[in-house]
Structure 1
Amino acid sequence: MAKSIQSTLVEVTVQAVKELYNAEIPAQQIALQETRKEFEGQITIVTFPVTRFSKKSPEQTGAEIGEYLQKHIADISAFNVIKGFLNVSLSEDYWISLLNNTVAAADFAILPSNGKRLMVEYSSPNTNKPLHLGHVRNNLLGYSVAEILKAAGYDVIKANLVNDRGIHICKSMIAWQKFGNGETPESSGLKGDHLVGKYYVIFDKEYKSEISALMAEGQTEDEAKKNAPLMKEAQTMLQQWEAGDAAVIDLWKTMNTWVYAGFEKTYKQMGVDFDKYYYESNTYLLGKDIIQEGLEAGVFFKKEDNSVWIDLTDEGLDQKLVLRADGTSVYITQDLGTAQLKYDEFQMNESIYVVGNEQDYHFKVLFLILKKLGKSWADGMFHLSYGMVDLPSGKMKSREGTVVDADDLMAEMVATAKERTEELGKTEGLSEEDKAWLYTTIGMGALKYFLLKVDPKKRLLFDPNESVDFQGHTGPFIQYTHARIKSVLSKAGFKGGEATVTPPSISVYERDLIQCLANFPATLEAAAKEFSPAQLANYIYDVAKFYNKFYHEETILKAEDAAVKAFRLTLSAAAASVIARGMKLLGIEVPERM
């Protein structure tokens, strides 16, 4: 692989400091950045760190370094110094060569394997309700992070830990037994997850009614919550499940089967997948051996009631229960066991948990305990903590039936995309099948891009109408740009693979677009390092903006010079390729026409 201009600039700047000032400066202290648009130049070298060796002003130091660089690097056409910033201009020949030999090459930004294995765990649904808007962000984020890591050279396992047991599952089961009259997905016409979620809501409604009745009889609210018959029945059912009661297990399997079928439809519509499923029903007893191991090592301690704890007060946390007095697991117990199970199975270098920020404390404790237990792989564990998603209408509560259902949201996005697309008259000549695909592609692209363009750590307000805007910072704008490029290439009969061409000169718009496209590999690596699809999403938006500027300012199909036309078509094809590949890593398809 040819050396990049950035690495050449760093190398020759180090050499300049040695020759000009008889000093050694570490390469990592040479800071490069893109030149701000109000100044001449494309790459800026920050000269402040060099002044301690030159003993001169930043301006004079920059001028001396600039003269040295221009003398030793043929691609530098000019330079200027603004205070402590040396702005370097690169020659037209450099940009032309960069497009022909790098950006337009078939292997551009295809990064080699780095030999490291990662697991990305996401989704983690409960089998008592359908997926909702919060799950949508989780799934899209986890899937995109996994795809970006793959593209950056990692061997990635996508995992889903399904929460398929517990009191919340029993609530749906009891409600279905008492009020369901044998209703099934087939008889009701409901997706299985929606049917089971319906009975979770019914449980809550009936439970509140029982609490009110008991309070009317003189019980306190806390007493009424404990004594409500429905809750007692759900608790008894959980005990029966844990004891292996055949009838309870059979009902549990039946209702979970309904839910899994529903989830699969939602996952397919969402465009996400998994390599490995774990189920809490198989993992909830794991971890007890680890607790015993920790007791023997003095990491944990027992209290008088026989419950097992860990003291994390020295780390600024508190004492944490890891095993109940009756010997039963708590969540941290099974998470310790599941973490060990995953590592034993895959020996991954890193394990990323995509979970909302309400679990920040839990993961701090989990990772700290594993380190105290001496698990060498614990250093590779990371909680990708993300903010909640709000709608203009406010927060969602699933047990009250006010949750924004993922299936309904996706259907609404497709319907909105259909309405907007037809308003713009962009469906002429398309078959009904092609139209349906286009509406789905635009609607899902709008949803995914809007949720992924925001830094994962930030809470976000999702506005469905704003997301389906063909002119804003949106998925449809980028999709439309891709379709525009494909239209240009189609009209020109451009097939790709044409011989490289050298135009007599290039414009600032061509140069800016080439420079932006050349940043794709570095952006991909940064997004992978930070587990941040937002970096990639915003980069692709920049590509689309630079292309549209170039498209509006320069003639492509009617360019009089054949070499200029061929060069601009090559540049257009390279832009389309980067947009398509980048969007695919976000889980977004791009149409050939819109």
Structure 2
Amino acid sequence: MTLAAQVKHAAYDALRHLYPDTPIDMNTITVNQTKPEFTGDYTIVLFPFLKLLRQKPDAIGKQLGDHLLENTSIFASYDIVAGFLNLTIKDSYWVSFLLGHHTRTDFGQQMKTDHRVMVEYSSPNTNKPLHFGHMRNIFLGAAMAEILRADGKQVIKANLINDRGIHICKSMIAWQHYANGATPESAGIKGDHLVGDYYVKFNDIYKEQVAALIAQGKDEKTAEKEAPIMAEAQDMLRKWEAGDKAVRDLWETMNNWVYRGFDESYKKMGITFDKVYHESETYLLGKKIVEDGLAKGVLFRKEDGSVWVDLKADGLDEKLLLRGDGTSVYITQDLGTAKLKYDDYKLDRSIYVIADEQNYHLQVLKLIMKKLGEPCADGIYHLSYGMVELPTGRMKSREGTVVDADDMVSEMVRLAQEQTEAAGKTEGFSGDELAKLYETIGLGALKFYLLRVDPRKKMVFDPKESIDLHGFTATFIQYAHARICSILRREQLPLVPDATRFQSFKQAEPISINEKEMLVQLEQYPAILADAAAEYNPASLCNYAFKLAQTFNTFYDVHSISKAESEEKKDLRLMMIIMTASILRHSMGLLGIRMPEKM
């Protein structure tokens, strides 16, 4: 139980004892960290009890404060300020806390449960490389998977590859017409980039053909439908679904080029998956679900042969599930995948990390599965996030205005090198160590910046701001960790010392304000981690780690460790910074960010 929870329970028990004839609701007790301008560590808000107890706040505060001091072992004193009871925690509590936890590398983690969760993220299309727009999705999904695992859940990290459909056929048609047999090897570029180039080429030719048809007198809608290259792509899709060997062979070849490119990009970003699904393997299951839904009368067929679901009674609209020519739409395979994931793992929750542009789509998916009586329906959860833009504006794949993920990673590593060299902080590193450091700083900056904003909010990514050593950045936190490592090296202490190193520590001197501030921050980590898991929000960890790093810097600016006033003070502060470094590594590690020992 966290200290704040202990304070809340102690206050609840005290109020019930003091006012036995008055019903006290635990939810009315608010406990906050005491504001820095006041004396105390935790504050109980007294206003909710004024009418209930028919007493003035000072009277309630005095009775409650006296009872807590007399009947609990953790409070040293109290102070009443304008309706607030500020409680000071005994130094002995903090010493006991440090001795019990400073060597724990799993501090904050929960016991493993049977609760099974799948987090599906990335989910790229095989008609283009991973681009910068994917990165918020990828890092959000990876971070949430690790946070939920630390929260005790059994987590499966999944990637659904969108490897079929009209978008794939567009790249294939353009490659057939304009590539002259080019391969990644002959072109000297990654396979995902090669295929993406022909997706852009398709759209360039398509726009030219549409413009030509309009010039001939066709209206825009007709021109878009009759453009020859689009007709070819749609014919190829029909052939693919019919199992045409030549089409399937080309599809497999080009997809394999893309998969190798994806794997290389994922490796650079430190991203892994436990399970990979392919829509080409799930769309038939989706079509079967649609047929079953027709047989049950849940779905209906229109005159053109297309299959729909009517959701108007649920405040939505009709939704197409199968085209008149029998080909699938996106939601067809999503139905199949949702069922397959549940059947594979008997999931308690299936989390879809998908941009907020698909809010309606996920709402429809969950509702359809519910109407069909599928057990997976209740566990479907949409982790919706806002789109990310660059200062130059929004990116569009088909227009070729995206920034590739590989290029963004390279740019961030370059910026890390530029900043480190400009600061003159390269002395004492070998060439390999510097290369690893630049990658650690660059990737850390990228991930942190994309995760530090609440997922539900849209954001603009500024590469230079993301790597600012003095800003709200991973670089700031990494530098604080490196400072601690430097102190421990001077003291000839490992990052995680033997548990017996400080076992004889006895507290005699009072804990200072700055020491106390750090201890309060350290103790709150399990609650912060639990909140991040419950709210599906890695930004909570970003904010916490940054604040902890700030608190350490303030503490270290005021207090010396090597020249502490006494050996007792030195040992206390060493335990504090050891635990600080451990929590920074753990919290940032959950976000996929490495902590360097030297910077």
Give the Cα–Cα distance (whole angstroms) in 1 for the partners of residues 477 and 72 of structure 2: 37
Q: Which position in structure 1 is the counterpart of 2:395?
A: 396
Q: 1:574 aligns with which of 554, 564, 579?
A: 579
Give the Cα–Cα distance (whole angstroms) in 2 for the partners of residues 188 and 346 of structure 1: 42
What displacement does 1:62 show? 2.2
Q: Which position in structure 2 is the counterpart of 1:224?
A: 223
Q: Secondary structure at the match of 1:494?
A: coil
Q: Which position in structure 2 is the counterpart of 1:15?
A: 13
Q: Over residues 325-362 of structure 1, what are the superposed CA-to-partner deviations in whole Å (9 max), with x where a residue is unaligned?
A: 44443322221121111100100110000000000001
What displacement does 1:285 show? 1.9
Q: Secondary structure at the match of 1:39?
A: coil
Q: How does 1:272-421 map to 2 (within 5 A)?
A: 272-421=271-420
Give the Cα–Cα distance (whole angstroms) in 1 for the partners of residues 142 and 13 of structure 2: 44
Q: Which position in structure 2 is the counterpart of 1:502?
A: 506
Give the Cα–Cα distance (whole angstroms) in 2 for the partners of residues 304 and 207 of structure 1: 30
Q: Over residues 45-103 of structure 1, what are the superposed CA-to-partner deviations in whole Å (9 max), with x where a residue is unaligned?
A: 22233334422123322222112111111221111223332211112222222212234
Give yes or no for the alignment of 1:559 onto 2:557: no
What displacement does 1:315 show? 2.4
Q: Over residues 106-152 of structure 1, what are the superposed CA-to-partner deviations in whole Å (9 max), with x where a residue is unaligned?
A: 55223210221100000010111111111011101100000111111
Structure 1 stretches of 4+ moved >6 Å:
none
Q: How does 1:193-212 map to 2 (within 5 A)?
A: 193-212=192-211
Q: Over residues 417-445 of structure 1, what are the superposed CA-to-partner deviations in whole Å (9 max), with x where a residue is unaligned?
A: 00000011111011100010000110111
Q: Which position in structure 1 is the counterpart of 2:487?
A: 488
Q: Secondary structure at the match of 2:382?
A: strand
Q: 1:519 aligns with which of 511, 520, 524?
A: 524
Identity of aligned residues (%): 52
Q: Which position in structure 2 is the counterpart of 1:71?
A: 70
Give the Cα–Cα distance (whole angstroms) in 2 for the partners of residues 474 and 436 of structure 1: 20
Structure 2 residues without counterparts, runs of 5 or longer: none
| The 10-residue stretch of structure 1 (183-192 or 319-328) with the greater mean CA deviation from structure 2 | 319-328
Q: Secondary structure at the match of 2:586?
A: helix
Residues 309/171 of structure 1: CA separation in 2 closer, same or farther (3 Å cut): closer
| The 10-residue stretch of structure 1 (483-492 or 556-565) with the greater mean CA deviation from structure 2 | 556-565
State the one-letter code of the partner of 1:508.
Answer: I
Q: Is the 8 A contact 1:17 1:24 kept in 2?
A: no
Give the Cα–Cα distance (whole angstroms) in 2 for the partners of residues 94 and 85 of structure 1: 22
Give the Cα–Cα distance (whole angstroms) in 1 for the partners of residues 223 and 311 of structure 2: 36
Q: Is the 8 A contact 1:390 1:461 kept in 2?
A: yes
What displacement does 1:38 show? 2.1
Residues 280/106 of structure 1: CA separation in 2 closer, same or farther (3 Å cut): closer
Give the Cα–Cα distance (whole angstroms) in 2 for the partners of residues 146 and 404 of structure 1: 26
Root-mean-square deviation (CA), in Å? 1.7
State the one-letter code of the partner of 1:482.
Answer: H
Q: Which position in structure 1 is the counterpart of 2:35?
A: 36
State the one-letter code of the partner of 1:17.
Answer: L
Q: Secondary structure at the match of 1:285?
A: helix
Q: 2:540 aligns with which of 510, 535, 546?
A: 535
State the one-letter code of the partner of 2:488.
Answer: L
What displacement does 1:306 show? 4.7
State the one-letter code of the partner of 1:112.
Answer: M
Q: Which position in structure 1 is the counterpart of 2:477?
A: 478
What displacement does 1:590 show? 0.8
Q: Is the 8 A contact 1:164 1:256 kept in 2?
A: yes
Give the Cα–Cα distance (whole angstroms) in 2 for the partners of residues 35 and 194 of structure 1: 54
Q: Which position in structure 2 is the counterpart of 1:256?
A: 255
Give the Cα–Cα distance (whole angstroms) in 2 for the partners of residues 58 and 379 of structure 1: 46
Give the Cα–Cα distance (whole angstroms) in 2 for the partners of residues 151 and 484 of structure 1: 27
Q: Is the 8 A contact 1:118 1:350 kept in 2?
A: yes
Give yes or no for the alignment of 1:244 onto 2:243: yes
What displacement does 1:369 show? 1.8
Structure 1 residues without counterparts, runs of 5 or longer: none
Q: Secondary structure at the match of 1:286?
A: helix
What displacement does 1:399 show? 1.1
Q: Secondary structure at the match of 2:111?
A: coil
Residues 306/234 of structure 1: CA separation in 2 closer, same or farther (3 Å cut): closer
Calculate the TM-score normalised by the size of structure 2. 0.95
Q: Over residues 443-473 of structure 1, what are the superposed CA-to-partner deviations in whole Å (9 max), with x where a residue is unaligned?
A: 1111111001110011011000001111111
State the one-letter code of the partner of 2:373.
Answer: G
State the one-letter code of the partner of 1:567.
Answer: L
Residues 358/580 of structure 1: CA separation in 2 closer, same or farther (3 Å cut): same
Q: Which position in structure 1 is the counterpart of 2:550?
A: 545
Give yes or no for the alignment of 1:84 onto 2:107: no
Q: Which position in structure 1 is the counterpart of 2:137?
A: 138
Give the Cα–Cα distance (whole angstroms) in 1 for the partners of residues 288 and 187 of structure 2: 45
Q: Is the 8 A contact 2:101 2:579 kept in 1?
A: no
Residues 8/416 of structure 1: CA separation in 2 closer, same or farther (3 Å cut): closer
State the one-letter code of the partner of 1:179.
Answer: Y
Calculate the TM-score normalised by the size of structure 1. 0.96
Q: 1:583 aligns with which of 563, 566, 588?
A: 588
Give the Cα–Cα distance (whole angstroms) in 1 for the partners of residues 292 and 242 of structure 2: 26
| The 10-residue stretch of structure 1 (93-102 or 196-205) with the greater mean CA deviation from structure 2 | 93-102
What displacement does 1:11 show? 2.9
Give the Cα–Cα distance (whole angstroms) in 2 for the partners of residues 304 and 243 of structure 1: 23
